Chain A
Amino acid sequence: MLFAAKIVNNKKLSDGFIRHALDEYKHCFIFTNIKNQLISEYKINKKELSFVPNHIYNKGYIYKDHFIFEKKKLNDFAIFVGANEAIAEEKLIDFSNHLKGHKPLAFKQIQNILKDEERHTEYSLRFAKKNNSFFSYQIKLTKEKVLSFFRHIYANSLNKFSFIFHPILITIIIALSLVTYFLKLKKKITDEDVMKNIDPNSIT
């Protein structure tokens, strides 16, 4: 959202994106607080729930070489945002229902977040509806919802299916271990002329 604010050529839209980004930062802060409360209450190992920024890449939530806004047209971006905000809303309602009885404060905070998210969804989808024909709007919306569904499946099952490749990897490891068993690699502790002895084009 912040990136979109940076490059969009329309001051009003840019301001809107900034406001949206600020909302999301606020939500993130609230979630972190709720998380910390749960950690201390249930004596959870805080490392297990700690946020590691680089994992956003591994889980496929952000591309390594571009932002979504660079690759999508404004209308499509609006549909993407609207669809995902709507999905987030549903999940949040579920989550807040879990907290309803025993965490009244957290429940209330999430209701406030929900109000923001509703506004985001509404605004984005209204924009998209205005700029797409009815038919293309519906198709694109469905497409984004399906993609989002798979994105979450992918993120949640990242390590669960990786064992499929294990037999191949283990074969490679066994083969390499046999080769290296006979390998006697000497390490150089000193080097009389480092620049002369290094091959700048070599990767080894």
Chain B
Amino acid sequence: MFYIGISAYYHESSIFLTDNKDTNCFVKEEFFSRIKGDKNFPHRSLKFLIKKFDLKNENIKSICFYEKPFKSWWEIFYYSIKNPFQNKDFLINHLKNFNKGSIFFYTDVNKLINISREKIVYSSHHLSHCLYGLSVIKNVSDYVYVTCDGVGEGETMSIYTIDDEYKIKKIWTNFYPNSIGLLYSAITDFLGFEINEGEFKVMSLGSFGKPVYEKELKEMFDVENFVINMDYFKFHKSPSKSFSKKLCEVFGEPYLDINEKENFNKYADIASSTQLILEHTMKNLIQKAINLSGRRKVILTGGVALNCKMVHNLSKQDIFEEMIIPPSPGDSGSAIGAANFAFLEKSKVKTIDFNSIFLGPKKSLINKKESKDNLFLKINLTIDFANEAATKLIEGEIIASYYGSTEVGPRSLGNTSILCNARNEEAVNNLNLNLKKRGRFQPLAPILLEENFNKYFSINKNVFKNLEWMGTLCDAKELLYKDYASIIHIDGTCRTQIVKDESSLIYKVLKNLSSKGSNILVNTSFNISKDPVVFDLYDVYVNMRRMNIKFVLMDDGLYQVKDI
């Protein structure tokens, strides 16, 4: 029997299916539609799952939506309708979207599977985040669960505890519009980046500036009591603009071209100040969670938790004993939390057993064998192929990887990546600027064996676990500057991933690489900016041709793109 969780309509849509035995399958709608951040009901993903697992009413235990549809729609409407004339643009737009949203979730599901109504259940937004957090730990009662995002069902921050019998208590909540997540997004908007996509860029940009606007930003958000000053924001008034004139009086003109040096410096200062305010807020929030729960181990979820720089800076302040951010803490990962809710709701005293963070489908489930033969040439299918790949990497080749199960979060962890030798500066720069077409202020991330980590990096052990999925930054040591300078961010940090699993292909490649004089690879997601990560072999082929990458590592060997 399958449990299915769905997250959709607001952020990138996704579905997670599990039988709590050997079958786990997490897919995003963007994998199929090829529209990055696709937020529609995941029709295509559900069709894929129906076909692959022969889904029908009889073999589905329940399908869970990650939040309460009406509540989610209503809570922000309720806030704005208190001033109907001032906020009319927002209200009109929100009313228009009523029928496009999750209210008709059951109907949308039913178009594809005939399922009985009682099998459709609804979790709660922050509860789904919290229950996803359980996927990376064992002793649930050791932790306090903190969620912080833009807004979900009118909540912006919440704190939960869970005991060994899986009784869940919510011990504190903060409400819309008091949202540090929405503030961060509004600044993202001001700086000319896309909301829900550009937040990473703001984080990176911040490292180039100084927090000279700390005082002004503290006027906009009270970091101790978690209260926002709405004079500076407009997201409750306007569907298209999130900041007000008053904010522009403080920061000047929005949407300037940051390719000009003067603008760049100014915007970097704004980004840096915003980052600082976020960190102060999160420090106080986590402190509050620890005080209220008496637990010093923290699971942090919600979109804000994707800010790995904040995680890194908080780790140095001796607030918690441990903090873990699961690989996909945003709304798309909540599909997994929703499935977990469905399971717990039936079992009462148990949640799903997760024994891997790679919850996506195996590449062999996605593709037909002929596709591989049609599109790729076999280069090396002997047991030695990882070694040949390492040799090519040493020679300066950029190689794609496509094997194992697909990753869950926004970061590729080696299974669906593009790799190059981090020691080869030319290859690294070529990959970042020409192939991936990223901004010059966004550095690429290193991947290495756990045993080599301490040679090159340092990190506080309270966030060490997150290195397995790039959930935090760490600091570069002297030796890294000597040989691998091109992967170090301007502030001396790296978003490093460590590899522990000796049976994984990336482990073998790295091991071979070490014997040839380099210990670190650059690992970046297998896509071009504004495109989703590759899903099937056709995407692999097309993306390799577009980026002019010749070789790809697959489960059984090293392949080369054919010319067709």
Tally A residues with Cβ within 8 Å of B. Answer: 57
Size band of the B side of the interface? Answer: 35 or more
* CB 8 Å contact bits of B75-111 with A (1 = contact, 0 = none): 0001001101000100110011000000101000001
Residues of A within 8 A of B542 (CB): 2, 18, 21-22, 25
Task: Looking at the assembled complex, report how far the CB atom of B38 sits from the nearest CB atom of chain A, in whole angstroms.
Answer: 7
CB of A102 closer than 8 Å to a CB of B: no
Point out which of A5, A54, A192 has the most chain B C-beta atoms below 10 A from its C-beta: A54
Residue contact A173 to B91, C-beta cutoff 8 Å:
yes
Also in contact, A180 and B78, with CB within 8 A (given A47-B192, A169-B95, A190-B171) = yes
Also in contact, A177 and B35, with CB within 8 A (given A166-B92, A204-B70) = no
| Smallest CB gap from B342: residue in A | A200
Other-chain residue from A162, A166, A187 in contact with B173 (beta carbon distance below 8 A): A187
Other-chain residue from B154, B168, B374 in contact with A187 (beta carbon distance below 8 A): B154
Residues of A within 8 A of B44 (CB): 65
Distance in angstroms between the alpha carbons of A180 and B88 in the assembled complex: 15
CB of A46 closer than 8 Å to a CB of B: yes
Q: Which of A56-64, A93-101, A140-148 lies on the face that meets chain B?
A: A56-64
Near B by CB (< 8 A), chain A positions 39-93 give 39-40, 43, 45-47, 50-54, 56-57, 62, 64-66
Residues of B within 8 A of A62 (CB): 33, 35
Residues of A within 8 A of B374 (CB): 11, 14-15
CB of B170 closer than 8 Å to a CB of A: yes
Distance in angstroms between the alpha carbons of A22 and B538 in the assembled complex: 11
Residue contact A5 to B344, C-beta cutoff 8 Å:
no
Residue contact B160 to A194, C-beta cutoff 8 Å:
yes
Also in contact, A53 and B175, with CB within 8 A (given A19-B564, A203-B71) = no
Distance in angstroms between the alpha carbons of A202 and B71 in the assembled complex: 10
CB of B69 closer than 8 Å to a CB of A: yes
CB of B127 closer than 8 Å to a CB of A: yes
Residue contact B36 to A6, C-beta cutoff 8 Å:
no
Residues of B within 8 A of A172 (CB): 95
Residue contact A195 to B194, C-beta cutoff 8 Å:
no
CB of A170 closer than 8 Å to a CB of B: yes
Residue contact A53 to B37, C-beta cutoff 8 Å:
yes
Other-chain residue from B167, B173, B546 in contact with A193 (beta carbon distance below 8 A): B167
Task: Looking at the assembled complex, report how far the CB atom of B515 sits from the nearest CB atom of chain A, in whole angstroms.
Answer: 38
Residue contact A191 to B169, C-beta cutoff 8 Å:
yes
Q: Which of B117-125, B280-288, B322-330, B552-560 lies on the face that meets chain A?
A: B117-125
Distance in angstroms between the alpha carbons of A191 and B159 in the assembled complex: 10
Residues of A within 8 A of B175 (CB): 187
Residue contact B81 to A177, C-beta cutoff 8 Å:
yes
| Smallest CB gap from A15: residue in B | B564
Residues of B within 8 A of A22 (CB): 542, 545-546
Sample 22 A-B pairs with CB under 8 A, ordered by A number: A18-B538, A18-B564, A19-B564, A22-B545, A22-B546, A25-B542, A40-B259, A47-B192, A53-B530, A54-B38, A176-B81, A177-B82, A177-B84, A187-B154, A187-B175, A190-B172, A191-B170, A194-B127, A200-B64, A201-B117, A201-B120, A204-B71
User: Footprint of B on A, CB under 8 Å?
Assistant: 2-3, 5-6, 11, 14-15, 18-19, 21-22, 25-26, 39-40, 43, 45-47, 50-54, 56-57, 62, 64-66, 162, 165-166, 169-170, 172-174, 176-177, 180, 185, 187-195, 198, 200-204
Instruction: A173-B88, A185-B78 are known; give 4 further A-B pairs, CB within 8 A.
Output: A25-B546, A165-B96, A169-B91, A203-B68
